[in-house]
Amino acid sequence: MPGIHHVEVWVFDLQCELSEWGWLLRRLDFSTEQEWATGQSWAAEGVYLTLTTLPNVTGSEHDRRGVGVNHIAFKAGTAAEVDAIMAEAREHGWNQLYRDRYPHAGGPAHYAGWLENSTGFKAEIVADAFTP
């Protein structure tokens, strides 16, 4: 069956990331599935996302412009829900990207907001089917 089973994100500072990612994932109806000393898994609708630190990770910031994953896009429901998440994000460590083109930076038929957290991870918050 096609689809994503899970995504594992390696992070530099788990507590910092859990503060920012934890808010976003809870806001998107993910719930904590597992916790251990160096990580945490969050699940929603049969998919899970793991945040974990490893001893061999170096540096202190993610480079989304380098090789690897640029961003993770999340379904948020209605356009109003995207707007609400975008309005709350700054209070939780996320900065809005492409503010001048919000909510159609992805084109006129794509209603979404883009966020970047304090360590450089980017998340896209996408509305369900949108008709301009």
> Measured on CA atoms in the order 32, 23, 48, 81, is the torsion positive or negative?
positive
57: part of which helix (H) or strand (E)? none
pLDDT tens-digit map of 103-112: 999 999 999 9
Amino acid symbol at 17: E
CATH topology of domain 6-53+70-127: 2,3-Dihydroxybiphenyl 1,2-Dioxygenase; domain 1 (3.10.180)
pLDDT tens-digit map of 7-30: 988 888 888 889 999 999 999 999
Burial class (CB in 10 A: 0-12, 13-18, 19+), 29: middle
Domain range annotation of the chain = 6-53+70-127
Taking the CB of residue 118, how many other CB atoms lie within 10 A of it? 14
Of the pLDDT bands very low, low, confident and very high (cuts 50, 70, 90), residue 116 is very high
> What average pLDDT does this structure show over 78-105?
96
Output the pTM of the full model.
Answer: 0.86
pLDDT of residue 115 exceeding 70, the answer is yes
Residue 61: its pLDDT value, please? 63
pLDDT of residue 50 exceeding 90, the answer is yes
Stretch among 4-8, 30-34, 62-66, 87-91 having the lowest mean pLDDT: 62-66
SS3 state at 117: strand
Choose between 45 and 57: higher pLDDT. 45
